[in-house]
Structure 1
Amino acid sequence: MSKPNFLLVEHGGARKQFTFEVLKKKGVNIFLVCTVVPPWLKTLLPEGNIFVTDTYNSVKLLSDTVSFFEAKKMKIDAIGTFYEHTVVQTADIAKALNLEGIDPGAARRSSHNKLLMRIVCRNAKIPTPAFEVVRGLELRRFIQTIKKIGLPCVIKPIFGAESYGTVKIEKYSDLMSAVNEIKLNTSSDKKEVFKNFTETFLVEKYLQGPVVSVDGLVQHKRVMVAGMVEFVMGPEPRFTQEANYIPTRFDNSVCVSCIDMAKRVIHTLGFDNCGFHCELRITPEGPVLIEIAARLPGGPLQPGYQKAYGVDLTSALVDIWLGRKVNLKPNLKNYILQKAVFPRKNGKIINVKGLRKIKKIKGIWDFSKISNKGEIVVTYPDIPKPFYYYAAAAQNPDLLDLLSNKIESTVRFEIF
């Protein structure tokens, strides 16, 4: 029996190389379509299994995909993506080729279009922040709209990721610098996906409370929750996620209410045969939807779930795309902290200490030095670069706190 042909849409960068290892274990022929082929990718796939096109354009993507496989006299058996900005385009191709995947309409009712997502959820009486819409970056329009919502409020583009262009406004005097920052961070120079950005923004009421996500999979309308993540946010007025805990440190009743809301959102938006990453803010009145993506949680969270519960979300989602039945069954219980340690002041790194000692600390399962001696570091309002990243595991929350303190007291970056 021949191996199924699997097309991966975009690679998602070097930090998602683990997805290729998962695909190889599935016994599939891996093909990749992307906008740019980085050098590291050439060691993972044969050159003939990669083709380049504009993956942000469904028309071009479909045309070039069909042409590529027809020239090889091969058929596509499954298609998928782990990259947020190509979820909709991948859904379009899957639908056109009659392959397993989320419906394109449902994919668009997600964080891909935060305005449409908000409207659908608001109409279904799902708690979301009050919001207004602004077209363009004219200061006068923002002032008029903010008067309707009130201060403090949050400005965010209707699509994007990693909080690019998202900022809290506490007083009108903040607005000019915020608009300039938003303009800079929503340009195609900052992220290629913004070449399709229409300069449409949400101005929404700011809500206080911790941020969590409910994550998992949907297959044939069956929602399978892997667990919840508690985020540690960086300094406001930005919304950088600097660290996360799996599981959360909240009591069971809070977790149940968050999971119930996530399921309600998923059914309302029509998600099916996909991953989901539902971000909520826990307010005194209960959980409120921030946004939901029709994909697995990004960054380090997929490996985080595997270390916490023994659940391989990446592998399970590939099985969904291949038409195989999936069940999420935890077989571990560890407490996980994944953290990027950021500078808190501008300056030059004049010394780095403790890197050799870090290798001897038990419980660290991932560590990466990101900044180097001699580099100039910045902090907010510029987008800062972390000093280092670590992931740690322990058998209970108290031991995890001790381990975290030990790591951060061992590694030292001196700034002048």
Structure 2
Amino acid sequence: GNTVETLLYVNIRGYKVERLKPIYAAKKLGYKITLLADKDPGLDKGLIDDLIIVDTYDIEASVQASIEYAKNHSVAGVLTWADKDVELVARIGEELGLRTINRESAKKARNKYLMRDALSQIEGLCPKYRHVLSFSDLQQAVKEVGIPGIFKPVGGAGSKGIFKIDENTNVEETYRLMLETTSPEEDKTFSYYPNEYIYEEYLEGPEVSIDGVVQDHIVYMTGVADNLVSEDYSLDYMEIFPSEKDDETIKEIKRSTKTAVKELGFNDCSFHLEGRVTKEGFKTVRSCCSSCWRIYCFSCD
């Protein structure tokens, strides 16, 4: 009969409670599941139909492996759950002719400075920020943006390498620690944008998160949640869904999110935005000022 369509997963989430549900759902819909990953994750037999082992930090090798696989299989969609693989999924989608987020928008999703540059065109949506490529850049950024501020890598994930700078901070020591923390030799996640950082204005206000999907350039939002975040390390420890914010605030958050999504050119993907509700309105930053557009890149014909 008909060829079973395949969903190509690029790696999986590290948390068991998160990584299996999407696979179960896809299986119920009748899809064949293929996993492109650095190593065998050791999932229960029957969940993964085909396993392609490749160094997913090697973009070209991963793309080529996907192309070879697609020659003999009907790949209907490609998706990822990890920040680091967003640009890889865009490349694979382009090569296989699938409807995924485009490469330019994927780069903006991953590079916080490029994202800020794009969103700065929208008045009031971004905090003040400066690109940092050297210690002298950081010194100048602190002078121009002011303190307190947030110093972070442009291509980080999981709140790693987030430093708050205030009047008591030794800026030179913080820069040295940043270089150590984000060394590609220690963590390959930082190999995409090595030694590239951003310094941003620190904003006060409660954190919220918004999830949604963009298809055919129409933005659908599934809801807004209140995020409870630790003060010291900016780690999410609880979410309240739906948000307890008043109706007018929710409308502003959704309106700003829709504007931002369109400005970044997102399409044929899902998204997760974390921002803060400040006295001046909603701004696209986390409590640690780490912009978090997590693009899952799920797309099927």
- Aligned with 1:119: secondary structure? helix
The answer on whether the counterparts of 1:126 and 1:265 sit within 8 Å (CA) in structure 2 is no
Further displaced range: 118-127 or 95-104: 118-127
Unaligned runs of 5+ in 2: 286-290
CA deviation profile, 1:332-377 (whole Å, cap 9, x unmatched) = xxxxxxxxxxxxxxxxxxxxxxxxxxxxxxxxxxxxxxxxxxxxxx
Given that 2:179 and 2:195 are in contact with CA atoms closer than 8 Å, whether structure 1 keeps it comes out as no
Contact kept, 8 Å, 2:131 with 2:137, in 1: the verdict is: no
The counterpart of 1:228, out of the listed 221, 224, 227, is: 224
SS of 1:77's equivalent in the other structure is: strand
Describe the shift of the 1:74–1:44 C-alpha distance in structure 2 as closer, same or farther (beyond 3 A): closer
Cα shift readout 1:192-251 (whole Å, capped 9, x = no counterpart) = 322333211111111111111111111111111110111111123x32222211112211
Q: In the alignment, is the contact (CA less than 8 A) between 2:209 and 2:273 conserved in 1? A: yes
Report the equivalent of 2:288: none
Partners of 1:294 and 1:98 in 2: CA distance: 22
Q: Normalising by structure 1, report the TM-score.
A: 0.66
1:152 CA drift (Å) = 0.6
Q: How far is 1:180 from its partner?
A: 4.7
Distance 2:260 2:15 in 1: 32
Instruction: Please give the secondary structure, in 2, of the residue aligned with 1:123.
Output: coil
Which structure would you say has the larger RCO, counting Cα contacts within 8 Å and 6 or more residues apart?
2
What letter is aligned with 1:270?
Answer: G
Preserved contact between residue 184 and residue 194 of structure 2 (Cα < 8 Å): no
What is the match of residue 39 of structure 1? 42
* Whole-Å separation in 2 of the counterparts to 1:135 and 1:32: 36
Q: Within the alignment, does 1:29 sit opposite 2:7 as a pair?
A: no
RMSD, matched Cα: 2.1
Residue in structure 1 matched with residue 236 of structure 2 by the alignment: 241
Tell me the amino acid that sits aligned with residue 120 of structure 2: R
The correspondence for 1:113, drawn from 111, 114, 120, is 111
CA contact (8 A) 1:57 1:89 kept: no
1:127 to 125, 128, 133: 125
Contact 1:3 1:29 in 2 (8 A): yes
Counterpart in the other structure of 1:20: 23
Partners of 1:55 and 1:19 in 2: how far apart? 20
One-letter code aligned to 2:62: L
Q: C-alpha deviations, 1:62-101, integer Å up to 9, x for none?
A: 112122343xx33422211122211111011111111121
Which residues of structure 1 form unaligned runs of 5+?
A: 297-316, 324-416
Shift of 1:292: 4.7
Give the deviation of 1:175 after TM superposition. 3.0
* 8 A contact 1:58–1:93 mirrored in 2: no
CA distance in 2, matches of 1:191, 1:218: 31
How many pairs does the alignment contain? 293
For residue 126 of structure 1, report the CA deviation from its aligned partner: 4.9
- Partners of 2:124 and 2:280 lie apart in 1 by 13
Q: CA deviation at 1:190?
A: 5.5
> Would the aligned equivalents of 2:155 and 2:192 in 1 still touch at CA under 8 Å?
no
Higher Cα radius of gyration: 1
Question: What amino acid maps onto 1:67 in structure 2?
Answer: E
Question: How high is the TM-score relative to the length of structure 2?
Answer: 0.89
Provide the residue aligned with 2:66 in structure 1: 65
Q: Which residue of 1 aligns with 2:293?
A: 293
Preserved CA contact (<8 Å) 2:183 2:194: no
Distance 2:4 2:46 in 1: 21
Does the residue aligned with 1:39 lie in a helix, a strand or coil? coil
One-letter identity of the residue aligned with 2:271 = F
Q: Decide whether the 8 Å contact of 2:272 with 2:295 is kept in 1.
A: yes
For the pair 1:213 / 2:203, whether they are aligned, the reply is no
User: Aligned in 2, Cα 1:194/1:203: closer, same or farther, shift over 3 Å?
Assistant: same
Q: Where do 1:267-278 residues align within 5 Å?
A: 267-278=262-273
Identical-residue share of aligned pairs (%): 24
When residues 126 and 116 of structure 1 are mapped into structure 2, their CA distance, relative to the original with a 3 A threshold, is: farther
* DSSP 3-state at the match of 1:179: helix
Are the equivalent residues in 1 in contact too, given 2:70–2:96 (CA < 8 A)? no
